[in-house]
Structure 1
Amino acid sequence: MLKSNGAGADSNAKALDLLKKGLNAKSTAVDSFKYAVSFGIHKSTKGAYSEALQQLESAKENLKRIDNDTLQTDWLMWTAICHKSRGDYSLAFRYVFQALKKYEKMGFSQGIARVYGTLGQIYLQKEDLLSAEKYLLKAKAVLKDKKPLERYLFTTHHLANFYGMQGKIDKALALDREGLQLAEDIPHLKVTFLDNKANCMLYTGKLDSAAHYFRECLKVDFQVGNQKQIADSYSNLAVVALYKKELSQAKKYIDSSMNLLQSASNKFNVAKSLQILIEIHKAEGDFKKALEVTEVYDKSYREMINERKEDALAAYHILYETGKKEDALSKQRLQLAESKAASNRKTAVIVILLLVAALMAIIGFLFYKQQRLKVLQKEKEFQLKEALAVVETQNKLQEQRLEISRDLHDNIGAQLTFIISSVDTTRSSFEINDTSLDTKLQDISAFTKSTILELRDTIWAMNSNVIKFEDLRVRLLNFIEKAQSNVSDVSFGFEVDNELKALTLSSVVGMNVYRTIQEAVNNAIKHAKASEVNVLVNSDDAAIKVIVSDNGIGFNQEVQNFGSGLYNMEKRIEEIGGSFQIISQSENGTRVQFRLYKNLLNT
């Protein structure tokens, strides 16, 4: 198998040529599999992830005939990495967790660390920083002896990236220094630490240093030969030039980036480069060109959305074919019923023959047994087919579910992001003298950002058949931390019983609990004028008890009717079999509490 370091691009190509020449009529499934996977890895190191996935898919047929856990996990991991690089996170998660099961069964610690590092990278790209840090630290702990070195450097790079995103620049730079020293002879990893260091300089306003390290990145990118990475470095240099008001230089860099990305058919990164070009035109004061580029940006996003619609249509055909199979099963059920009726008629004949003569009775009994065995065999065959059909239908529906959630993320999320960009462009491109109109545009932008957050929560629930209570706790903690950052004059308390960590909930139950707590906290912030809001989740043998309390102005329950928000909270909890209660008095705070009975939870 190839070494997948970009520095050996020529040697990789020679190795692939040797592998291909070695294939002949006597080649085994393993030989063919190794060549297809190696070719896929080679394409991925060049940034050609779609071609890489095609090669990996071509190896899948041989994979079924290979009893080799190491080769199977290699295939799973590279497939996951390609999907991650293309932004298909649901598919990336599917393959990477399959690989984790195999590594754990094999007891292969380096493979487990590889999975943890990849999960950390996926969560970083999804901006789930708590999960990213958890998996990256787990990977680093497994690799504490720095072996294998490339895996240790991979994990260290993403941990440095995490600290940079958190604003912990000193920690990030310390890891970058270590990485650059260890990766001196590994170009494709060395460039990642240079990129981290350059971004740290950019975040702290050291623009000349940032430009220097991004240029160093570009030198190594050309050495590795990854077109996508070269284009990214040009984009980064364009951003630095923009900040330094060197607008003509910024244009040259962004043009170079877009030329490379278009030849590589990377529409997502082309859209990112278009956004930078819009900002360059704004800085020049050429708002006409900014609007023209915005139209091109809009067209690019619509093309991506149309591609997703085509994928959705293909998924519909899958469901249609599944429906045809279910119709065929219904016909088989009818045939089985007719077969049973015929068997009963034959049994009646056998009983009459038994009365005629003992000999005929023995013959009839044997005949009856034979017929009965045939019926039982048919029943078992039908049950097996029915079970396989159910499993296949469930798999297809799960795939459709993942497709829908990805469409929500890529299509609706992209459109909402475009709305925010368009509103901001409109506000900055035109002089708006009408204060009410400007306020309305700000409201639209804020509402759209809030809708994106709601959409992410919905996608999170759709991607899960079951939700671990620990995942729900982390999501609630993220929500409360964001609320704390937005409302500085309110203090928040959040406490969850440790015994609940192992509990799992259905996606419906988990989402209703999350939305109810979210609504209660928002009410306390917006309407109660509270200075303290506390969320307490504990458990006993029978139920889970959730309490959201505040020290706000409260209200008189005998006088004031429930609003739609309070009614919706009560409805959510009742729908999942829980009990809901609100306790409030004027000037004495409000207490929202509900119980979820464990014997009724759909876990």
Structure 2
Amino acid sequence: MLLLVQLCWAQEPTEALTWFKKGLTLIDKEQNYDDGIKALDSAAALHPEKELLIQIKYAKGVALNSQGNLSKAVAVLEENIPLIETCDDTTKIKFHANNYRVLGDVYKGKGKSLLAMKNYQKALSFSEKYSARSKATVLHQIGVLLMEKRNYLEAEKYFHQTTDQYLNEHLQLGKYINLGEVYLETDRNTQAKQQYDKAEKLALKNKNNMALCHIYIGYANIFFEANNYKKAIEYYEKTIELSEEIGAQFLTTSSLLYLAIAYNKTKQAFKALPYLDQAAVFLNKEPSVNYQLSLYDTYASVYENMGNYEKSIIYLKKVNAFKDSVFNIEKNKQFEELKIAYETKEKQQEIEFLKLQKKKNELEISQKEKALKALNLEKELEASQHQNTILQLQKDRSENENKIILLKKSRELAEAEASKSQQLKNAYLIGFIVFSIPLGILLIVYYQKLKTQRALAKKQEELNAKQILTLKKEQELKSIRASIEGQEKERKRIAQELHDAVGGSLAGIKLQLDHLSSKEPKLLSIVHHLDETYNQVRHISHDLLLEKIENDEFVQLVKNYLKKIATSTHINIDISFFNETLINEVSNVIQTNLYKILQELINNTIKHAEASSIEIQLNAHADMINLLFEDNGRGFVYDQNKNGIGLRNINERVNSLGGTTTIDSQHNHGMLVNIIIPIKKTAA
């Protein structure tokens, strides 16, 4: 139930802790969710310490999920995330691993598979750092999600990764039952029975009647497929007895219908009627489209075998009427979709004209911008030359000023010497010794002044030389940057022109020739050559963008690309990244292939899916890159051996990197693509 709650008990019991333990007991052991949640709310109202409050909210989220109150469970568990972020690293890893896992369970219960997978991926990244037991639990839940999406083979891989030694008995039981269903759905009945046998031992040991119901239905289905209806009937009756005891209504209804079908198969139609009547009572309380159709169809078959053709016809009419009501709903929906598609097509023609006009204007603006940049560059060069001339004049002026100062000093000294000489004549009687002392002092001062002036002049020359050298280098760098930016923009413009203008024109010509080729077989060869030319243009335009992958951060490059797609279409694109640093550090080979895979997926959605929104998640872990791509378009029936060129190219790219591709799509239910590429294997 509460599955891996890590309790950190305080040294001395507190009132909040007491209420918390009481809530766990009511929820875990007694399955009394209402009173258990009230006890947890009482514990939270006492303002416990941070770690205990996190565990209280986590336990409440688990209880609300088990109770079926999914929206409240999401709210409580998401409230916990910012609180967990304030903990130290070790505690944060432990709590995030459990909190994100249960949040994934809740979204799985709400039928939001992409959100469920996102939270499971986050839980897996924290569980890898936390414990092998926690990691096994998350892998098991991902397997359950894939099984519910009918991706049985991929689900089987995840179940086999969950080693029994890291699972508690409750999860081991779930794993055996799920593997049994996987084997049953993939026609491996012997292996299915082996898994149900292991599950039965654990269920009997733990007195888990709900699990036993699923196990007995599994046994019954195995015998039913083998035409051993007697044994199948025996297990269906066991299931009904147990499911009624624990109040599992849908399990009871399902078993009653299967039991009636089994009796009808054994030519005991009269025994089937009471079970059908009981199933009808349950379905009146809790309607289900699939069970209702099965009920009417089985009634018709039973009455036909009993020779009561009037009642058989009545129930056949009910089956048709029920199918018609479902069909009419779908038909009205399709009519609205066709109407919207027609109106959209008319508007699309106007939009295409405006796009062509916009491209023409953009081309004119681009040419003007290039001319303006060239003019600005010439002005910058002239300004730089002018600045160099000014600096040279300033240097010459400084040197002349220094010479003038020296001459002034020399003249002043000469005047001083003349004055001293006159004074010397006047003071000759004072004595030679008295005269020689100030003269010596004067000579020393003069020598020091000359020395100081020379040093200053030398330093000024060196400073001027360094400034000139710095200005030259800055000018060279500006010129190099301008050249590189010009080359990059020119490369981008050529790639865009090839892809949008030339590629668009070739696509338009091809569409026109496609209509004519059915009337004129000779045009088929021209259409074929036109396809090859269009593909070559696309490859050239893509290759021109590879240098941006080498020079720019990959995450930002993807964001810019998707932003451009979003602004040029009516599709809402939502993308999120996990561990951006690692994504930017993977090899150029992986980044290039991921970029082209993303382009192929976006192109397929725009051209074929008629989608209004796309959700993308790019996650990086220690040993793999995971790309999740989902749209809400019209979908398709996916066949791995019969798919289009686009999907085949994606599979080939992923296989070349040693990765795996999982595609889940059905008519009118969109498309989900899950791509996993190993990092270490590719690097090796």
TM (norm. structure 1) is 0.49
Give the number of the structure whose alpha-carbon radius of gyration is greater.
2
Greater relative contact order, per chain length (Cα 8 Å cut-off, separation 6+) = 1
